[in-house]
Amino acid sequence: MKKFILFIVVLCVWSCKKNQDYPLLNELTSDFYSEEMKPFYHGVASGDPSQEAVIIWTRVTPEHKLPEIKVKWELSADSLFYNVIKSGSLKTSPERDYTVKVDVQGLEPNQFYYYRFEALDSQSIIGRTKTTPENSEDLHFAVASCSSVQWGYFNSYGRIAEEPVLDAVIHLGDYIYEHGKDGYGDTTIGRIHLPEHEILSLEDYRTRYAQYRLDSDLRNAHKNHPFISVWDDHEITNNAYADGAQNHQEDEGDYMTRREIARQVYYEWMPIREQKDLYRTISFGGQADLIMLDGRLAGRSKQADSLDDPIRTDEAHTMLGKDQFNWFNDQLRSSKARWKLIGNQVIFSYQDWGYSGFRLNMDSWDGYPREQESIADFIRKDSIKNVVFLTGDTHSAWAFEATNDPFESYDRDTGQGAIGVEFGVTSINSANSNERNPTDSVKVHESKIVNSKINPHLKYVNMRDHGYLKLTLNDSLGIAEFKIIGTTRQRDPEITVDKVVKVKSGSTKLIID
């Protein structure tokens, strides 16, 4: 026995000495590490569930710059891991920023599972995930968008983490922001981007994701629920399109290099299947198909400069690109599910913002009217029912009876002529209208544009509050609960429901509670 103990001691000393032969791993985020989570400071995450599989993720942060780390993983039917049904091991390295991703196969539909990782003689926290159903089960989603460390605390993520039962968190983009300390944001409460400059390099993007994933509220949301995510522009840079961006200047290097760095790091840090194209469909049995679009990098043309810019109505001016456009139509046509959910970065419906100097947004679908009309006409012609657009980007909450033309064939009293409904989710914490204007003035403006002559199809708007959308789908109803938090200025558990909006299966008429 003494010889065995001596052997273990010698082995540990040898291992420690061997690791110390490598230089220390110094990271900008290390001051924010919680020692009790070592070396899994960034927690765990899961995503892209199917009936038989799910992605599980973690990051191992060694003390030294190790060339390789062996990581074990387990997935169990119970939280105590009495019934481990899948396990394995793999290696990670600096080439993947020490991130780990496993596509766990051979699972049962509509089941909760628990998972954990082990590396460097330590164990991660335990995550919970869920596979998708094969039948017409009731479904529950949280829908989220737009979170910036520099705009305050992630209380919205904290409340998502506390949702008792979710089939998934649908994240519609702007998961991070690219700006530096002196860019977009309010740093007066001390939440400052790392690095402090605008991110451009591989190390920059990795550091920014690492910072966000150290936030306890976001970490807990990932721990408790699977995510289904897509990028918008700020994962790359503001108002990005396929071969350029508004917030990319000549002195910042080659845009395509920056774009590919952003893509690489997104795949490293997000619990998502790595494939050529980000757009994909995830089936939730007979109840819903979730069609996730990539309205940024797959084929988007540069935005028009104004409403009168002739490029806006050019046949070649596209949001999706030809391949994705055809794929999208095929997904809608072939779907046998009751509800067709469309994960969509920017507002699809016609939207007049009602400002004298800003009416239609050229970065939204209104800036791409030919393709917008083609999609709307396709849905009408094929009589596709129960289309629900889920949209982020605007930092405001919206409920539209979805249409590209609310003035001709649409009836505001019956909802006839709409192609479906659209729920726009407000931001997790990124600034909206009353960060710039008095709240009373914002309320006056909301009254001006909702149920109005300029937006007869817009039935609800909130341009003041932050939060997320809780979406419930069953055989007869789609129920959207617009949940809002009390503050972003400090950690706070307050959460309320601002509005409940319903739509009956087979209808395009919104019911406002």
Is residue 256 domain-shared with residue 404, that is, in the same domain?
yes
Q: Which helix (H) or strand (E) holds 61?
A: none
Q: Which helix (H) or strand (E) holds 465?
A: none
Is residue 93 domain-shared with residue 181, that is, in the same domain?
no
Cis peptide before 23 (omega within 30 of 0): no
pLDDT by 10s per residue, the chain, length 513: 444 344 444 444 444 555 678 999 999 999 999 999 999 999 999 999 999 999 999 999 999 999 999 999 999 999 999 999 999 999 999 999 999 999 999 999 999 999 999 999 999 999 999 999 999 899 999 999 999 999 999 999 999 999 999 999 999 999 999 999 999 999 999 999 999 999 999 999 999 999 999 999 999 999 999 999 999 999 999 999 999 999 999 999 999 999 999 999 999 999 999 988 999 999 999 999 999 999 999 999 999 999 999 999 999 999 999 999 999 999 999 999 999 999 999 999 999 999 998 999 999 999 999 999 999 999 999 999 999 999 999 999 999 999 999 999 899 999 999 999 999 999 999 999 998 899 999 999 999 999 999 999 999 999 999 999 999 999 999 999 999 999 999 999 999 999 999 999 999 999 998
Residues 107, 104: Cα–Cα separation, whole Å:
8
Final residue belonging to a domain, choices 98, 130, 162: 130
Is residue 207 domain-shared with residue 120, that is, in the same domain?
no
Q: Which domain holds residue 84?
A: 21-130
Is residue 89 domain-shared with residue 159, that is, in the same domain?
no
Q: φ and ψ at 468, to 5 degrees?
A: -155, 175
13 domain-assigned: no
1 domain-assigned: no
417, HSE (Cβ side, Cα atoms, 13 Å): 15
Structure tokens at 145: 């968008």
Final residue belonging to a domain, choices 130, 147, 163: 130
3-state secondary structure at position 344: strand
CATH code: domain of residue 400: 3.60.21.70
> Are the CB atoms for 294 and 268 separated by under 8 Å?
no
Is residue 490 domain-shared with residue 426, that is, in the same domain?
yes
Strands 112-119 and 122-123: antiparallel
Positive/negative CA dihedral, 392, 397, 403, 408: negative
165 domain-assigned: yes
3-state secondary structure at position 42: coil
> Are the CB atoms for 452 and 508 separated by under 8 Å?
no
56 domain-assigned: yes
6 domain-assigned: no
Residues 112, 224: Cα–Cα separation, whole Å:
10
Query: Model-level pTM?
Result: 0.96
Residues 339, 323: Cα–Cα separation, whole Å:
24
Is residue 145 domain-shared with residue 55, that is, in the same domain?
no
CATH code: domain of residue 100: 2.60.40.380
Is residue 195 domain-shared with residue 105, that is, in the same domain?
no
Number of structural domains found in the chain: 2
Buried b (16+ CB within 10 A) or exposed e, 274-292: eeeebbbbbbbbbbbbbbb
3-state secondary structure at position 57: strand
Helices then strands, counting H and E runs in the chain, come out as 8, 24
